[in-house]
């Protein structure tokens, strides 16, 4: 047999009992598990725009600065003035004539003129208020004697105590302008003088609904004591439309010389009329209140009548009705000043507490060291 005669035959079939795969069921194809959906990556968040926060911070800082500035102006921390030192006295002819005249000066037109109160008439005046401690006591004494008076008010105090200004008006007394911060008008520039007068008028309008045509410069006294710088300040007052009210009798009660001396210096002689200067603020005014009661008791026995400055001159009241805009502006001013004072007071306590805690912490660690 040759190689060509050899045929390749297929292998014989394997019996089922010998085939290990026999009897098995075919396995189903593997199930295809669903794949999770691929979500797009979220876009990167942009940082919040900080401009709104900076705006709020800027507004807050401006309000703090405004509160501190207003309170500093009112309390004399900024823009403080004092009485000007005596200057060389070279009075003009008009000033020399005013020194010999009456205590109420009209410098608004033409040649200066002045006026005296009528005989047996006294015009009591009170400067530097209102004051929560002493103005009510002065008003009580005036009411006891049926007397009227004129109060030359400081505008910042009207803003702080508007209820006292309203009581003054309600009880028939008169209001005058004594500047907003008790500024010496002889030593301030023109813009400051106008600001002081305007703010006081707005404070009065906000508290009482009234303006006034009377003004008394701080640090003034009798006509004979007018200095050259004061005269220039009074002319500026007149340019703003004011009558300038000085005094005949200066009690100098601010120095607290004693009740007897205050009473004696407030009594006119030989039945003359007079404008009397006292103070209802600026310190302890117990002597003033006692002296006022004594003066009114004595003058009533001599037939005197106690009236306002304009009443003593036979003039219409110095009060003028403020318009709606001025009343609104005054209300805002008065509220802003009280808010500034409250904020400054609270800030002072916060700073005090922070300083005390810092000192306590340093002391604690120093003891432990």
* Residues with a known catalytic role: 127, 279
Residue 318, C-beta contacts closer than 8 angstroms, at least 6 positions apart: 150, 174, 175, 176, 212, 213, 214, 243, 308, 309, 310
Whether 148 and 173 have beta carbons less than 8 Å apart is answered as yes
* C-alpha span between 28 and 282 (Å, rounded): 108
Strands 104-106, 249-250: parallel, antiparallel or unpaired by DSSP?
Answer: unpaired
* Measured CA distances, 349 to 232, 344, 354 (Å): 43, 9, 9
Counting every residue, how long is the chain?
Answer: 369
Torsional sign, CA 324, 328, 333, 338: positive
Q: For residue 168, which of 218, 197, 134 has the smallest C-alpha distance? A: 134
């Amino acid at each position: 047999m040759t190689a060509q005669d050899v045929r390749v035959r297929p292998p014989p079939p394997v019996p089922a009992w010998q085939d290990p795969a026999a009897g098995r069921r075919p396995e189903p194809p593997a199930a295809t598990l669903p794949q999770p959906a691929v979500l797009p990556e979220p876009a990167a968040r942009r940082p919040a725009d900080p401009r709104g926060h900076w705006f709020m911070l800027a507004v807050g800082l401006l309000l703090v600065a405004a509160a501190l500035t207003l309170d500093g102006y009112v309390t004399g921390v900024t823009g403080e003035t004092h009485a000007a030192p005596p200057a060389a006295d070279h009075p003009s002819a008009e000033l020399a004539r005013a020194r010999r005249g009456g205590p109420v000066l009209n410098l608004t037109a033409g040649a200066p003129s002045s006026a005296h109160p009528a005989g047996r008439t006294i015009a009591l005046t009170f400067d530097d208020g209102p004051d929560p401690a002493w103005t009510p006591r002065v008003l009580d004494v005036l009411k006891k004697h049926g007397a009227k008076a004129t109060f030359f008010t400081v505008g910042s105090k009207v803003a702080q105590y508007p209820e006292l200004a309203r009581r003054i008006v309600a009880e028939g007394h008169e209001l005058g302008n004594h500047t907003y911060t008790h500024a010496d008008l002889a030593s301030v520039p023109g813009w400051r003088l106008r600001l002081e007068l305007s703010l006081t008028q707005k404070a009065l309008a906000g508290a009482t609904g009234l303006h006034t045509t009377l003004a008394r410069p701080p640090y003034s006294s009798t006509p004979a004591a007018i200095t050259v710088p004061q005269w220039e300040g009074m002319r500026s007052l007149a340019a703003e439309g004011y009558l300038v009210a000085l005094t005949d009798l200066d009690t100098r009660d601010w120095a607290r010389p004693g009740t007897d001396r205050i009473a004696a210096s407030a009594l006119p002689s030989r039945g003359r009329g007079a404008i009397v200067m006292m103070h209802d603020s600026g310190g302890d005014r117990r002597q003033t209140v006692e002296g006022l009661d004594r003066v009114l008791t004595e003058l009533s026995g001599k037939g005197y009548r106690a009236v306002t400055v304009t009443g003593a001159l036979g003039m219409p009241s110095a009060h003028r009705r403020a318009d709606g805009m001025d009343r609104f502006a005054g209300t805002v001013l008065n509220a802003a000043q009280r808010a500034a004072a409250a904020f400054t007071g609270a800030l002072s306590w916060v700073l005090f507490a922070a300083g005390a805690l810092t000192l306590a912490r340093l002391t604690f660690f120093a003891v432990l060291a």
